[in-house]
Amino acid sequence: MNKKSGRLVQLLNREMKILLGVTLGVFLFILFFQPFPLEKFDFNNSLLFIGGFSGIVLVFMFLMRIIFPWFIRKKDGEGEQTSVNVYLEGFVIVALSSVALSFYLRYVGSVHISFYTEFKIILICMGAALALRIYDMNSGLMRQNESLISEKKAVQKQIEKYEEDNLNKSVEFISETGSENLSLLIAEVVFIQSADNYVEIAYIDAGSLRKSLIRNTLKNVELQIKPYSNFIRCHRTCIVNMHYIEKLNQSYGSHWLTLKGCQEKIPVSRQYLLKLKEAL
């Protein structure tokens, strides 16, 4: 199968379902609402007549949506598409279908073509063109949504890689005395809490939660860990590693954090609540 034949098959697969659906809609609309007098036909013949009416609409949609794009193509950012502007396409479908259907009603259905009859014909053809336009818009939105989902997954992978790289970095907690410095991986630090003239650092060691005290203030420690985005202040007495946050809890106006592998309730003050919610 050559490239041009493959293009035709692609168009048929993509367009025929919507074209047949619109044609069926036109058929059912005329059958149930009977906008044109069909007294000269019995039931079976009226079905054939309505089928011919909707078939004419199908022919012009088929020409504009499949045959024409098969010969004339245009490259854009999303692939091959017809060079006919979507509004021009709709206008051509409405114009040609209206003319053909007027002749069909007059010479096959023996229906007198008045201004009101012509108006109804145009409305029906416009309904078919509008249905195609809505379908195109919906398809475009679906493609855009799929593209955004793919981009989101790619960004998430980058974020996960960045977080993983960041967690493997070391951070050194410096004591004011200089003799109690503590060096840990960011992935090991669970939370940091003030304890009078000391700072208590809770960290994971061999799968267990351990705590160490160094002589310093929480404000100074916060400055030491400022380059690392994993840490966030949740209370005037506490800083947590967001990697370990499991849940933000609320009860009677008070908030606290549940951390992975930790039984303690970490308090959250109103001062830091909004920033914490944004980070989570």
Domain with 34 in it = 3-139
The confidence band for 164, taking pLDDT boundaries of 50, 70 and 90, is low
The two structure tokens encoding residue 225: 């860990």
231-235: strand order across its sheet: 208-215, 198-205, 189-195, 238-241, 231-235
Asked if the structure places residue 159 within a domain, the reply is no
Asked if the structure places residue 266 within a domain, the reply is yes
Query: Is pLDDT at 186 greater than 60 in this prediction?
Result: yes
The confidence band for 261, taking pLDDT boundaries of 50, 70 and 90, is confident
8 and 124 fall within a common domain: yes
8 and 131 fall within a common domain: yes
Our count of domains for the chain comes to 2
Q: What is the pLDDT of residue 163?
A: 67
Q: 139, 159, 191 — which closes off a domain? A: 139
The two structure tokens encoding residue 280: 């989570």
178 and 135 fall within a common domain: no
- In three-state secondary structure terms, 268 is strand
Asked if the structure places residue 35 within a domain, the reply is yes
194: CATH: 2.40.50.1020
Query: Is pLDDT at 22 greater than 50 in this prediction?
Result: yes
Asked if the structure places residue 150 within a domain, the reply is no
List, in sequence order, every residue forming a beta bridge with 254; answer none if it has no partner.
Answer: 251
Asked if the structure places residue 218 within a domain, the reply is yes
Q: What tens digit of pLDDT does each residue of 205-238 get?
A: 888 888 888 988 888 888 888 888 888 999 999 9
Identify the DSSP state of 254.
E
Over residues 81-95, the mean pLDDT reads 76
- In three-state secondary structure terms, 158 is helix
Q: What is the pLDDT of residue 1?
A: 53
65 and 124 fall within a common domain: yes
Alpha-carbon distance of 113 to 84, in angstroms, equals: 31
27 and 130 fall within a common domain: yes
Alpha-carbon distance of 42 to 50, in angstroms, equals: 12
The two structure tokens encoding residue 190: 């669970």
Asked if the structure places residue 104 within a domain, the reply is yes
Q: What tens digit of pLDDT does each residue of 24-50 get?
A: 999 999 999 989 887 777 878 889 999
Tell me which of 253 and 128 has the higher pLDDT: 128
121 and 194 fall within a common domain: no
